[in-house]
Amino acid sequence: MRIRTDDEYAHREDTIESAAERLDCNKTKAVLISCEVVGDVLDGVEDALAHEDVPQSVRREMAEAVSTRRLTVEVEEPRASLSLD
Protein backbone atom coordinates (compact mmCIF):
# COMPACT_ATOMS: atom_id res chain seq x y z
CA MET A 1 0.00 0.00 0.00
CA ARG A 2 1.21 3.48 -0.82
CA ILE A 3 0.16 6.68 0.90
CA ARG A 4 0.28 9.74 -1.33
CA THR A 5 2.20 12.64 0.17
CA ASP A 6 2.60 14.78 -2.94
CA ASP A 7 0.89 18.06 -3.80
CA GLU A 8 -2.28 18.54 -1.77
CA TYR A 9 -1.46 15.45 0.32
CA ALA A 10 1.86 16.81 1.65
CA HIS A 11 0.36 17.29 5.13
CA ARG A 12 0.15 13.51 5.48
CA GLU A 13 3.94 13.29 5.71
CA ASP A 14 3.97 15.57 8.77
CA THR A 15 1.17 13.59 10.39
CA ILE A 16 2.90 10.26 9.87
CA GLU A 17 6.28 11.60 10.98
CA SER A 18 4.68 13.03 14.12
CA ALA A 19 3.15 9.64 14.93
CA ALA A 20 6.48 7.90 14.33
CA GLU A 21 8.26 10.34 16.62
CA ARG A 22 5.62 10.01 19.36
CA LEU A 23 5.62 6.21 19.15
CA ASP A 24 9.42 6.05 18.77
CA CYS A 25 9.34 3.85 15.68
CA ASN A 26 9.60 4.03 11.91
CA LYS A 27 6.80 5.51 9.79
CA THR A 28 5.41 2.16 8.59
CA LYS A 29 5.11 0.85 12.13
CA ALA A 30 3.57 4.16 13.27
CA VAL A 31 0.80 3.84 10.68
CA LEU A 32 0.14 0.21 11.66
CA ILE A 33 0.08 0.96 15.40
CA SER A 34 -2.16 3.98 14.89
CA CYS A 35 -4.66 1.98 12.85
CA GLU A 36 -4.62 -0.88 15.34
CA VAL A 37 -5.26 1.17 18.48
CA VAL A 38 -7.55 3.99 17.30
CA GLY A 39 -10.79 2.06 17.85
CA ASP A 40 -9.91 1.04 21.40
CA VAL A 41 -8.69 4.54 22.26
CA LEU A 42 -11.88 6.16 20.99
CA ASP A 43 -14.00 3.59 22.86
CA GLY A 44 -12.07 4.41 26.03
CA VAL A 45 -12.60 8.15 25.55
CA GLU A 46 -16.33 7.63 25.12
CA ASP A 47 -16.49 5.40 28.20
CA ALA A 48 -14.53 7.86 30.32
CA LEU A 49 -16.70 10.79 29.24
CA ALA A 50 -19.88 8.84 29.95
CA HIS A 51 -18.81 7.73 33.44
CA GLU A 52 -21.40 8.85 35.96
CA ASP A 53 -18.83 9.90 38.57
CA VAL A 54 -17.17 12.46 36.30
CA PRO A 55 -18.57 15.98 36.77
CA GLN A 56 -19.84 17.77 33.65
CA SER A 57 -17.15 20.46 33.91
CA VAL A 58 -14.41 17.81 33.93
CA ARG A 59 -16.06 16.01 31.02
CA ARG A 60 -15.97 19.24 28.99
CA GLU A 61 -12.29 19.78 29.85
CA MET A 62 -11.46 16.20 28.88
CA ALA A 63 -13.34 16.56 25.59
CA GLU A 64 -11.44 19.74 24.76
CA ALA A 65 -8.12 18.13 25.70
CA VAL A 66 -8.55 15.13 23.38
CA SER A 67 -10.08 16.99 20.44
CA THR A 68 -7.75 17.53 17.50
CA ARG A 69 -7.98 19.22 14.13
CA ARG A 70 -9.51 15.99 12.79
CA LEU A 71 -11.43 14.72 15.84
CA THR A 72 -14.10 16.74 17.59
CA VAL A 73 -15.28 15.48 20.97
CA GLU A 74 -18.44 17.01 22.40
CA VAL A 75 -20.27 16.23 25.61
CA GLU A 76 -23.97 16.61 26.18
CA GLU A 77 -25.65 15.18 29.22
CA PRO A 78 -25.53 12.18 29.48
CA ARG A 79 -23.62 11.28 26.27
CA ALA A 80 -20.44 12.13 24.50
CA SER A 81 -20.05 12.19 20.74
CA LEU A 82 -16.99 11.85 18.55
CA SER A 83 -16.90 13.14 14.99
CA LEU A 84 -14.14 13.01 12.42
CA ASP A 85 -13.55 15.82 9.94
What are the domain boundaries of the chain? 8-84
What pLDDT does residue 26 have? 96
- In the chain, DSSP finds a helix count (H) and a strand count (E) of 3, 2
Contact 59, 47 (CB under 8 A): no
Model confidence pLDDT, tens digit, residues 2-43: 899 999 999 999 999 999 999 999 999 999 999 999 999 989
Model confidence pLDDT, tens digit, residues 36-67: 999 999 899 888 888 889 898 999 999 999 99
**Among 28, 35, 34, 29, CA closest to 3:** 28
Model confidence pLDDT, tens digit, residues 66-80: 998 888 998 887 677
Q: Is the pLDDT of residue 84 over 80?
A: no
